[in-house]
Amino acid sequence: MNYYEILRIPTTASVLEIKNAYKKLVKRYHPDIYEGNKLFAEAKIKEINEAYETLSEKSKKEIYDAELNYKKYEPKKEDFVKTYTTDDLNIYKNIYYRNFNPRIKRKSKVVQKKKKFSLSELGKKYFFKLDEFFEKEEKENLIIMILIFFILILLVQILNLI
């Protein structure tokens, strides 16, 4: 519930404007004067009183405005989700060790573990990506061509040995 909307005033309203708006609304919705549902009038007066109590005191108004602005610009989950590359991490690490903690000397770059060479990983990385690009017949023809190429290389090596 927005107290400014209840009192029908702008967020930049002065203390005098808040007081005048409060008086007008109390006269309009007072349960003894209001022609209509008395329960509605009582509930409306409670809202108006709560809004006036908060906005009339300077300290309460500052706290309320801060909460209202935070809700208005409340950060979303997307604001916090970001994937960082190793370059980003190195930049942040350098900034930290240069500015915040210069006494600690560390490596300036993030060291990535070297992976052992594996033919199966190489095959998974390159050869099995062919599934995305070629149809079944094209893959078979490509495999046959590769096998023929290797057989030709072996024949040339054998002929060179003789």
**Domain range annotation of the chain:** 3-72, 84-112, 133-162
pTM score over 0.75: no
pLDDT of residue 34: 84
pLDDT tens digits along 48-104: 999 999 999 988 888 888 888 766 666 666 656 566 677 777 777 777 666 655 555
The model's pLDDT over 3-42, given as tens digits with 9 standing for 90+, comes to 888 999 988 888 899 999 999 999 998 888 888 888 888 9
Instruction: Provide the CATH number for the domain formed by 3-72 in this structure.
Output: 1.10.287.110
Arithmetic mean of pLDDT, 137-147 = 78
Rounded to 5°, the CA angle 27-30-31 comes to 160
65: left (phi over 0), alpha (psi -120 to 50) or beta: alpha
Helical H runs in 36-129? 38-56, 58-72, 77-80, 86-95, 119-126
Per-residue pLDDT, 158? 87
